[in-house]
Amino acid sequence: MTFSSAFDVDIDSTSPPIVKGFRFAGIASGIKSNGKPDLGLILADELVAAAGVFTRNRVRAAPVEIAEKRTRKGKLRAVLVNSGNANACTGAPGKKATEVSTAALAKRAGFKAEEVAPASTGVIGALLPADKIVDAMPRLLDAVGADRASDFARAIMTTDQWPKVAARKVRLGNKDVTLLGIAKGAGMIHPDMATTLGFVVTDAGASPALLAKLLREATDVTFNSVSVDGDTSTNDSLFLLASGQSTMLKAGAKETARFREALIDVLGALARNIVRDGEGANHVVEIVVQGAKSDADARKAAKTIATSPLVKTAFHGHDANWGRILAAAGRSGAVFDPAKAEIRIEGNKTKVAIVKRGMPIGKEAEAEAAKIMATPSYRILVKLGVGKGASRYLTCDFGKSYIEINANYRS
């Protein structure tokens, strides 16, 4: 695989661009008891091509089951999102509540409930108050505007500290194509399941099958290569909607490859934003594994390093603890010869090797590395020395407030 700049993209999130064919809204419907925005809508001007990626957790909330079924048909008119309540582990009444909510939108807006994908995030085990959503529907539709993506971004937040928006414009086939991504935080800190929701809309067009393929590929190297605490939510959902009002993408075309890169950039920026937004996280760390027997092996090693509590606490202490990193790679299942392993710490300006041929270089190198590890963001390069497989994972440190917040969240 090649390494795009996925995680490095920083895009101004204060003024999301207009995307032809889509309008947005975000209002307070009373699901959150503090009166903050909790109901969001993405409304397409007509039925548009759509794809989705959903949590692989066996325990899936009602909205996930329904959204997956509806999105699988490849066409959607709207996505209806609420925060403050995940509607997970709520049985048949939960399913009913989501159906009632999406039906209310469909009826009022004049399309079919099957054309609305739902998404929910918030407390689990509590039934979604569908009546509040139904009551708020006129206000929600009144609030809709092409320039209201920021309202939507705020309405889907749970304990996120800031709204997460990333956009990219690319010139494809003599036309300007815009991609706008909006997400809400997972987070090492975030209570309970730390649900990740992501939405990308574009004015490019594509067949549902191509769209699904592009989304899956881009998700693998971005949202699926991010670890905060290794847990997967009951509600994780990611959507891609394409209005087709600019260039039409075709499988195998050069433009499609460039669109894919732009999609990776947008999702990568959102993923990085999600990792950064942890109260206990002081450092965003990219784990890059190279020289593995295969990409799959590299991924195993990168993921195991990125989710090791011992490694993550060492990050918190700016400790160039190569032993923990090497041992995590060693237990990952990746095949390699430890006697050939190399580890480098790479900051914005300086790089330093701390392990060569499986052995530590010395205290001086580790002191240099510790300086880089005191900065907010750096990279750890692990070379396994047995092949050409590569992968990477984005993670963060484990700080004391992780324990504080997660131990006391519900008490």
What residues are annotated to the active site? 195
Q: Does 409 bind its own copies (CB under 8 A)?
A: yes
Parallel/antiparallel/unpaired status of strands 197-202 and 351-356:
unpaired
Minimum gap (Å) between residue 353 Cβ and its own copies = 14
For the record, the structure tokens of 121 come out as 């995030």
- The percent of the chain in helix, strand and coil, each rounded to the nearest 5, is 35, 25, 35
Tokens of 206: 């594509």
User: Cα separation of 176 and 84, whole Å?
Assistant: 37
CB of 57 vs its own copies, minimal distance in Å: 4
**Burial status of residue 91 (CB atoms within 10 A of its CB: 0-12, 13-18, 19 or more):** exposed
Confirm or reject binding of residue 407 to its own copies (CB under 8 A).
yes
Instruction: Please give the Cα distance from 255 to 180 (Å, whole number).
Output: 18
**Residue count, binding to its own copies (CB under 8 A):** 63
Q: How many C-beta neighbours within 10 Å does residue 348 have?
A: 11
Helices 295-307 & 309-316, crossing angle to 10 degrees? 60
What is the closest distance, in whole angstroms, from the C-beta atom of residue 269 to its own copies in the complex? 25
Position 74 contacts its own copies (CB under 8 A): no
By CB under 8 A, tell whether 329 contacts its own copies: yes
Given candidates 10, 14, 35, 58, which one binds its own copies under the rule CB under 8 A?
A: 58
**Which range in 102-110, 132-140, 209-217, 305-313 contacts its own copies by CB under 8 A?**
305-313
Nearest distance from C-beta of residue 400 to its own copies, angstroms: 5
Q: In this chain, which of 74, 173, 230, 387 binds its own copies, going by CB under 8 A?
A: 230
275 forms part of the interface with its own copies (CB under 8 A)? no
Q: Does 399 bind its own copies (CB under 8 A)?
A: yes
User: Which residues, including other chains, have CB under 8 Å from residue 187's CB and lie 6 or more apart?
Assistant: 159, 160, 194, 228, 274, 275, 277, 278, 281
Residues 6+ apart with CB under 8 A from 284: 272, 275, 276, 376, 377, 394, 395, 396
Q: Which residue from 310, 348, 350, 374 is in contact with its own copies, where contact means CB under 8 A?
A: 310
End-to-end CA distance of the chain: 45
Closest CB to its own copies among 89 and 146? 89
Least separation in angstroms between residue 159's CB and its own copies is 14
Q: Which stretch binds its own copies (CB under 8 A): 15-23, 28-36, 107-115, 186-194?
A: 186-194
- The DSSP secondary-structure symbol of 145 reads B
Residue 410 sits in the site that holds its own copies (CB under 8 A): yes
Q: Smallest Cα–Cα separation from 88: which of 304, 232, 238? A: 232
Fill in the per-residue mask, 341 to 360: x = in contact with its own copies (CB under 8 A), - = not in contact: x-------------x-xxxx
CB 320 within 8 A of CB 344: no
The residue within the footprint of its own copies, chosen from 138, 145, 317, 376 (CB under 8 A), is 317
Contact characters 119-138, its own copies, x per CB under 8 A = -----xx-------------
Query: What is the rounded distance in angstroms from the CA atom of residue 365 to the CA atom of residue 149?
Result: 47
- Using CB under 8 A, pick the residue from 24, 336, 378, 393 that binds its own copies: 336
Is 327 near its own copies (CB under 8 A)?
yes
What is the length of the chain? 411
Q: Does 89 bind its own copies (CB under 8 A)?
A: yes
Position among 234, 243, 247, 395 found at the interface with its own copies (CB under 8 A):
234
The binding site for its own copies (CB under 8 A) comprises: 56-60, 88-91, 124-125, 192-194, 229-234, 308-310, 313-314, 316-319, 321-324, 326-331, 334-336, 338-339, 341, 355, 357-360, 370, 398-400, 402-404, 406-411
